Structure 1
Amino acid sequence: MRFRRIVLPMREVVNSLLRHDLFVAEAAMAPYFQDVHDHIMRITEWTESLRELVSNVREAQLSMQGYHLNDIMKKVTSWAAIIAVPTMITGFYGQNLPFPGSGQPIGVWTSATIMSVSSAALYSIFRRRNWI
């Protein structure tokens, strides 16, 4: 960026030296100033292409970072879904209302079985989709 800030104003300076109506430089010096002008134009184009290259590299890095973040979010969401199902079931059975199997051992076994089966099913589904 520093190099670009130096080169861009130089283009205007050399352009003003090349103008024939100002009579700033002698005619014999014109080819030399034209050579300097060509070099400055080449350097300007080179710095612009490097600037675009750096911009493209930065965009690629941000895209890769976004992809990695999405992958992490899939894993966190999968684990949250696995944890949410047992939480919902225990919340249902923890209410102060009569429910199927209330006060009997079958109610505890039923809720434990439903929690285990649903958690295992979600785990296998997420594992198959490569989310975990």
Structure 2
Amino acid sequence: MDASLRNRPALEARIEKSRDQLVARFHTLVKLAAADRKDRNNTAIAQYHMQTETAALITTAENAQSLIRQLQEMWLFGQLDTIGDSKAQQQSDEDARSIAVLLKQLAELQQPAGGNGGLEPAPQPSIANGT
């Protein structure tokens, strides 16, 4: 596994680097497209520069797509354990434990020591013989 996918700070740094590169490449392309060029030399140089920046933009987008694919695979196969337990998850676990204790206490209160679940056997009506 790639070393940059092993912890949260490295993942965040890689994501931010990809984002910054995408924005920078796009910004450069927009600046190149907006410039006025009067002679053929400057136009040719700008066109070459735009081709280079476009290729770099595509490569950066492919790298970002590769990172996304790696993260999805790690998430699907359970290897993406870099975020840890959040406060909400911890609170949810504590609430579940307290509810389990309360339910156990309620169940114990509902069952008397008799062992039949607190139910008395119902009296059976006697059937009288016709004799």
Q: What TM-score comes out, normalization by structure 1 length?
A: 0.45
Q: What TM-score comes out, normalization by structure 2 length?
A: 0.45
